Amino acid sequence: MHIEVSGLYKKFGDFQAVTDVNFEIEKGQLIGLLGPSGGGKTSILRMLAGLESVDKGDIVFHGKRVNDLPPQERGIGFVFQNYALFKHMTVEGNIAFGLEVKKWSKAKIKDRVAELVELTGLSGFEKRYPHQLSGGQRQRVAFARALAPEPQLLLLDEPFAAIDAKIRHELRSWLRDMIDRLGITSIFVTHDQDEAIEVADQIMIINKGRLEQKGTPWEIYKNPQSPFVAEFIGESTIVEDASSLRGFGNASDWPGTKALIRPEYVEVGKPSDFKLLSATESGRVRHVHFRGSEWLVEVEVGSTRLVTYRSLEKEIVHPGDEVQVLIHRAYLFNNNDSWIMENKLKEDPMPVHI
Amino acid sequence: MSSMLQGRWWSWGFRSAVMLYFVVLIIFPIFGIYGQSLSSGWSAFADNITEPLAWKAVLLTIKLALITTIINALVGTMSAWVLIRYRFPGRRLLNSLVDLPFALPTAVVGLMILLLLGPHSLVGEWAEKLGFTILFHQPAIIIAMVFVTFPFVIRAVQPLLEEMETSDEEAAYTLGASRATTFWRVILPNMLPGILSGAMLAFSRALAEFGAVVLVAGNIPGKTLIASVYIFGEIESDNTLGATAVSVMLLTISFLILWTVNYVQMRRKNG
């Protein structure tokens, strides 16, 4: 389903939950609404579902304004954070509920339920009650129940929040595959950036009721359009005075400019590791953490502490080691503007042409 | 070692004391009544039970208790719903008032009804004009019973409603269910165990109510003479056997209900 939202506002009492949100979603996409808790993500999702009224603005499905349609008539499936399974019904009963309500024939209901049980890998659990299932199984029942009436749009509110970390990972890729296979437009809410990056085609970053940025995970990572997005996505260190960093002296042209530096922008090594030593400055290793697939190195340059990753293939550095630090690039921002700046000293000032 | 021994003795003594207390306070008197009722043999017991005055009183009591139970199941469920789902000024006060019928001396309840609905009261006169009397007739008995058993259903349904999250209803809506369908298929089944067990306790209590009822019930056999008042009358006229026979009937019904309530609650916990 093609979805268009324009000028969306929502207030709860004195609290402005959603402010002027605009976006458009192509059919078949999987969208992640990402942002800190209480930022308005769930309110947006609930307004799309019709579970919350809209103060101002339009929600358009397939070219048709649905603001005044009740949830029953929007053709959506909704997976709740706590799953909201009907406790007094079996797995089968839960999945069949939406079909019975829509007065499908008995035979058709039976087929559809069997199909979904198969699809969600719940075979053998049809006669169980929700309290006899594990968290992951409940989640899949909720998913099957929402999908049963063949909705055009699937909305998921923090679908993995209540599941332990290990199974969460499995379920994520399972959900991704499932949605790919069904080709159903889906929107899910999460406060976990890894989840959004891993699963979503496109991410919408929501903060304080506003849509900060919309784009593919890579676009958002590479080119954050606001300091909030830059800081929220990925790991980073903020340096109060950007011009103090070697290679970024130009930043002093814009007073009050801060720098945000991601671990992958930083490289540490011996002087012989770098082609252009003039672009580096010396620092001291403070801490080294083993991260399973790489080292996380904390290094101190002057008074700023930076974080970087180091491949396991490279020579091991130890706390206290004197190293050279190269900052490839930084995300600079001040009150008015934000941009990405490359290390100016990295380009050879006197290239030798042969 | 010695402290452990002391601990064990202490726990053994404690359990025995509680057990003894139960036996002396509850089990002895109950078996006593069963024994008493049969003390003059089966035929005397049968005579007492088949005495029209006796079984008519029991039947009438059951009938009125049933009506009471139905009223309280409906009103109690609605009250529980309002107290849990709505937020309004005075809600907490109202909620604490629910237990009042448990706390009030039942004789006071009877007196309240007597004064409020008597022939010289506003309501009494109004009913008289419409052609029926409340006091000393079935309506007064039902009112007394309803008042006394009011808290049971509310207090049994409230925790179930609290446990049930609004997302259950919202899930039903998003699946296409109307409000009515959602009520019948999602909300009511969740409340039902509470309604049932509350209603059965209310029935059991209504069956046995004396204090509130004795002041407002009449003594026309089969019309306004209820079991507990009949028992009282039999004792007054020195017919212990007749009193025990009716008591045994009430007791047996109460036991069956208690057992059913336990069964329903157990099934809810396990099922």
**Region A291-309 average pLDDT:** 87
Mean pLDDT to the nearest integer, B119-132? 78
Q: Which residues of B touch A84 (CB under 8 A)?
A: 165, 167-168, 170-171
Q: What is the pLDDT of residue A17?
A: 92
What is the side-by-side order of every strand in the sheet holding A329-333? A237-239, A258-261, A329-333, A338-342
Q: At what angle do helices B240-270 and B28-37 cross, to 10 degrees?
A: 130
Distance CA B54, CA A333 (A): 93
Contacts of A146 in chain B (CB under 8 A): 174-175
Partners of B170 on chain A (C-beta within 8 Å) are: 51, 71, 78, 80, 84
Whether residue A351 is predicted with pLDDT greater than 60 in this model: the reply is: no
List, in order of start, the domains of chain A with CATH numbers.
3-228 (3.40.50.300), 235-347 (2.40.50.140)
Cβ pair B189:A77 closer than 8 A = no
Computed over every residue of chain A, the mean pLDDT equals 88
Cβ atoms of residues A343 and A261 within 8 Å: no
Distance of CA A189 to the CA centre of its chain: 8
Distance from chain centroid for Cα B154: 12
Structure tokens at B82: 């309002």
Cβ pair B174:A51 closer than 8 A: yes
What span, in angstroms and rounded, lies between the C-alpha atoms of A254 and A268? Answer: 28
pLDDT tens string B212-264: 888 888 778 778 888 888 888 888 898 888 888 888 888 888 888 888 888 87
Q: Where are the alpha helices (DSSP H) in A69-150?
A: 91-101, 106-119, 135-147
pLDDT tens sequence across A204-224: 999 999 999 999 999 998 888
Q: Is the Cβ of A70 closer than 8 Å to some Cβ of chain B?
A: yes
Q: Which of A229, A204, A233, A221 is nearest to A24 (CA)?
A: A204
What is residue B50's three-state secondary structure?
A: helix
In this complex, is the C-beta atom of A250 within 8 Å of any C-beta atom belonging to chain B?
Answer: no
Q: Which of A190, A210, A225, A187 is nearest to A339 (CA)?
A: A225
Segment among A160-174, B16-30, B69-83, B136-150 with least mean pLDDT? A160-174
Report the residue of chain B nearest A98, measured CA to CA. B175
CB A190 within 8 A of CB A34: yes
Predicted pLDDT of residue A345? 78
Helix, coil or strand: residue A155: strand
CB A253 within 8 A of CB A260: no
Q: Tell me if A71 and B170 make a contact (CB, 8 A cut-off).
A: yes
What is the number of other CB atoms lying within 10 angstroms of the CB of residue A10? 22
B4 falls in which pLDDT band (50, 70, 90)? low
Closest residue on chain B to A95 (Cα): B175
Q: Nearest 5°: phi and psi at B222? A: 75, -10
Report the pLDDT value the prediction gives residue B48, as an integer from 0 to 100.
82
Spatial contact of B197 and B251, defined as CB atoms under 8 Å apart: no
Average pLDDT, chain B: 87
Task: Put residue A158 in one of left, alpha, beta given phi > 0 → left and psi -120 to 50 → alpha.
Answer: left
Phi and psi at A184, nearest 5°, equal -95, 135
pLDDT at B6 (0 to 100): 67
Sign (positive/negative) of CA torsion B25, B26, B29, B31? Answer: negative
Q: Is the pLDDT at B185 greater than 80, yes or no?
A: yes
Tokens of A335: 């009150």
Percent of chain A whose predicted confidence (pLDDT) is above 70: 98
Ranges of H-type helices in A50-105: 91-101
A154 close to A185: Cβ distance less than 8 angstroms: yes
Asked if residue B68 has pLDDT above 80, the reply is yes
Between chains, do B170 and A86 touch, taking CB under 8 Å as contact?
A: no
Cβ distance of B174 and A129 shorter than 8 Å: no
**Do the chains contact at B170 and A80, CB–CB below 8 Å?**
yes
Confidence of residue B51 (pLDDT cuts 50, 70, 90): confident
Tokens matching residue A59: 């929600």
Task: Report the C-alpha gap between B211 and B106 in whole angstroms.
Answer: 5
Q: What backbone torsions phi and psi does residue A84 show, to the nearest 5 degrees? A: 50, 45
Distance CA B174, CA B34 (A): 58
High-pLDDT (> 90) share of chain A, %: 44
What are the backbone angles phi and psi of residue A339, rounded to the nearest 5°?
-160, 165
Q: What digits encode the pLDDT tens for the residues B207-219? A: 988 888 888 887 7
Are A162 and A81 spatial neighbours (Cβ–Cβ below 8 Å)? Answer: yes
**Do A51 and B173 lie within an 8 Å CB cutoff?**
yes
